Amino acid sequence: MKLKLGVEQIVLGDQQHINEICDEKRFHKVPGGALTAIRALTGDGLFTAYDSEMNWWVAHRLLVPAFGPIALRHMFDDMLDISSQMVLKWDRLGPEHEIECADDLTRLAFDTIGLCAFSYRFNEFYTDNAHPFAQQMADVLAESGRRVSRPGFVNDWVYRSSEQKRQENVKKMHELCDQIVTDRKKNPQPENKDLLNTMLNSVDKETGERLSDENIRFQMATFLVAGHETTSSTLSFTYYNLLKNPETLLKAQRQVDEVVGDNVLELQHLPKLTYLDACIKESLRLDSPITRWSVCPRQDTALQGKYEVKKDIQLVSNLKALHHDPTVWGDDHDEFKPERMLRSNFEKLPPHSWKPFGNGMRSCIGRGFAEQEMLINIALVLQRFQLQLADPTYKLELKSTLTIKPWNFRIKALRRAGKSLMVGIPGGVPAEVAKKHEQQHEQVQAAGASSAASLSIFFGGNTGTCEALAEDLRTKLADHGLNASIASLDTLTEHVPDQPTVIICSSYEGLPPDNAKKFVAWLEDTSSKKDFLKSVKFAVYGVGSSDWASTFHRIPKLVRGLMKKAGAEQIVDIGLSDVKSDLFGPWEDWVDQLIQALVESTGARILDILEETAIALPFSAYVDMLPALTPRQYSIASSSLEPSNNPQHKPHADIVSLCFDVHTSPALSGHGSFFGVTSTYLASRRIGDRVSCFVRLTNVGFRLPGSVETPVIMFAAGTGIAPMRAFLQEKAAIAKAGARKLGPAILFFGCRHPEKDFIYRNQLLEWEQQGVVKVVLAFSKGDTGPRYVQDAIWEHREEVAKMFVDGGKIYLCGSAARLAKSAAEVCKKVWCEKNGKSMGEAEQWLQSVKTDRYISDVY
């Protein structure tokens, strides 16, 4: 469709054409429409600047790292703080209070960006009326949207007073931004890693320039506008879609229960909330708050090779049409189906089919910020509340300003049964404890800084993530008395140090990042020299995005291979992170391995040193050096329905059974033995001894089905038999009572040797004779039969498949790294065989049943 309304525009609405204009070599962004109007507020800020404005380039280079994965990690606690304020407010207002969803979510998003970006609290949840800045912003956005729909002379003559009011609001908003900057300059916070400090103190490495005070003002206004408007709209749409689709809401809530339970939400929970993430993405598809973005050709061109387009013509992407293109989304494109956004499906979409965050270099740099904030909020709300529409007959109404959002959308929030007022709310740390910890940390860092570097860290990356990881590693190494230097990877060229060397690197479309090009080229030229790096010990960590599947982690793997080829010795195997799923989980695991390898090169611990040397160390100092003990969790291996466990027929059993492995091994120091703390403690208890313990509720889903006739499939290895024994003891008690007929049950149990560690042997075989369960064994050191649980499952796949089709549930307990992974793979393989599908589709199936029919308890 071609329009000429002042500026000639061509509106595109299908994936084929929008995919073409996403080519940044041929097209560039042109802020148009309402974006032009709000330049009075945001000027040449990132959102509304033109490509020709140099401030955009400087700000982009400085601020992209400020929204990278490491920076977002530091913002997690502040985001959790603001969402906690919101859920407590909802809870205290009671289940009959009607919540104006868009209003409270706007307060949430506005408070969050203010605190995370500028360490400024607007305190929106502590006042009845919106903060003056928020109201001024709403008025400016509304009037800016109206101005672009009216002819210029009408704005100049008929709506002159409206424009004066708009400019007054802009002035007041700029004054507040300036005041925040002035306060920070008067009271510097050098330890603060927020966006404001980045803008005030950072220098662009390419030009040597800083951001001007004017541009900082524009950037602050930009982030306050873009950081709250789209997020609040998306959250409103997501809650609306969940409430209109109760079965989807139930799935989302079950995932929160499975991942978080009643615990305080933590950063490592977020990558596991895959279904919530899919709900957000699907809501963005159905109703994107940003309805369009525009580009212009860099030169005269032809779309699809046949539609001539001049250089100055705006090409407008109609996101509503794109996100409902039936050739991409099917005939059910108007339906809310988060499953299509689960990763296995999302990756199969044609390129540029889903574009709510814009495109390429000019896409929203706050995408990760918004996604993290929204996941936190939805998780906290679903953990605590049962939601319902205030008006069950409500149909979606839209309000349009800079974005679109639901209008008159009200909900009620009822606290779920069994949930306390403070469930999921993070507790505080006493100030004196926090201060003591900080002082100890500073002393360790100071001690490390006083000596020469014992390890070198080199980073290569364009967005700041690898450099931030390098800083994180240096801090962790200092905690272990290891001092490290940091430099860009290009400085390693021709100067590989004679000490442990850590390389943290990314790829950029399969090529080295800008600050690693020289090193990679040099390494490629010299790696053929035999034993050229023989004396070097190194470790490589790679960061990448699975969006670039064909070049995923290419450069880190190349560097690792070339250094090994040149004779260098790996300290630990290469570590890899995918920023699209979980950057920090693999990173933390890899750092632990690296530090352990470095420390184990001496094999010494503080107790070893005290035993072998004469050091006058106060006992209190020794205790401070020890890592804090954390509670060890064991699954109860018995049922309260078994009469011998509950002779008085109380609501809870008098006797519980535990199943655990007593861990012993040679000490790393080479002297004596190492004994597992908790297992050794329990093994040393005698009849009549008291045990320090507490009982926690298990995973909501890890319980026998409500109906005893439901088929039960169990996978267990080693002490993972514990909950399965409890299940079987309960089923045996029900069978003995004779009141109800049991459904079929099968147990796949793996251990090493049938004569040495076949635990609960007599009971399991007895229950099998009674018809309670079929037991299938796998002995890794046995002479016959399958060696591992996954092998046994495959041999009995016909039976397992039939039980599952008949409504059966799968329960798994064992090692996350071994049994959980291998059992999942064989189950996907069985599903593929039965359904004629691919492994990618099998992964989607597995994810879809994990909330209620494939339940794991792993360690």
Q: State the sign of the Cα–Cα–Cα–Cα dihedral 839, 841, 843, 849.
A: negative
Distance between CA atoms of 279 and 341, rounded to whole angstroms?
8
Residue 71 exposure: Cα atoms within 13 Å on the Cβ side: 25
36 in catalytic set: no
Distance between CA atoms of 140 and 401, rounded to whole angstroms?
9
Catalytic choice (364, 659, 751, 813)? 364
Instruction: Annotate 379-446 with DSSP letters as a single string.
Output: HHHHHHEEEEESSTT----EEESSSEEESS-EEEEEEPTT--TTTTPPPP--HHHHHHHHHHHHHHHH
Q: What are the phi and psi torsion angles at 200 (to 5°)?
A: -75, -35
Joined tokens for residue 225:
């506008």
Distance between CA atoms of 33 and 45, rounded to whole angstroms?
16
Question: In which residue are the tokens 């313990």 written?
Answer: 693
Catalytic choice (230, 248, 274, 501)? 230
> Nearest CA to 176 among 138, 144, 137, 202?
137
Alpha helices (H) along 601-717: 606-612, 619-625, 677-683
525-564 as b/e, with b when 16 or more CB fall inside 10 Å?
eebeeeebbeebbbbbbbbbbeeeeeebbbbbbbbbebbe
Beta strands 673-675 and 664-666, pairing class: antiparallel
Joined tokens for residue 518:
């020289």
Exposed, middle or buried: residue 127 (CB in 10 Å: 0-12, 13-18, 19+)? exposed
Joined tokens for residue 826:
């064989």
364 in catalytic set: yes
Other CB atoms within 10 A of residue 150 CB: 13
Distance between CA atoms of 835 and 365, rounded to whole angstroms?
42
Does residue 479 sit in helix, strand or coil?
helix
Joined tokens for residue 32:
């148009």
Exposed, middle or buried: residue 649 (CB in 10 Å: 0-12, 13-18, 19+)? exposed
Distance between CA atoms of 663 and 655, rounded to whole angstroms?
25
Does residue 355 sit in helix, strand or coil?
coil
505 in catalytic set: no
Joined tokens for residue 818:
């071994």
Distance between CA atoms of 148 and 25, rounded to whole angstroms?
29
**C-alpha dist (Å) from residue 803 to 16, 727, 845:** 45, 17, 17
CA-based radius of gyration for the chain: 30
Catalytic choice (118, 122, 223, 357)? 357
Distance of CA 493 to the CA centre of its chain: 35
Calculate helix-pair angle for 367-384, 69-93, nearest 10 degrees: 30
Residues 789 and 818 sit within 8 Å (Cβ to Cβ): no
User: What residues act catalytically?
Assistant: 230, 357, 364
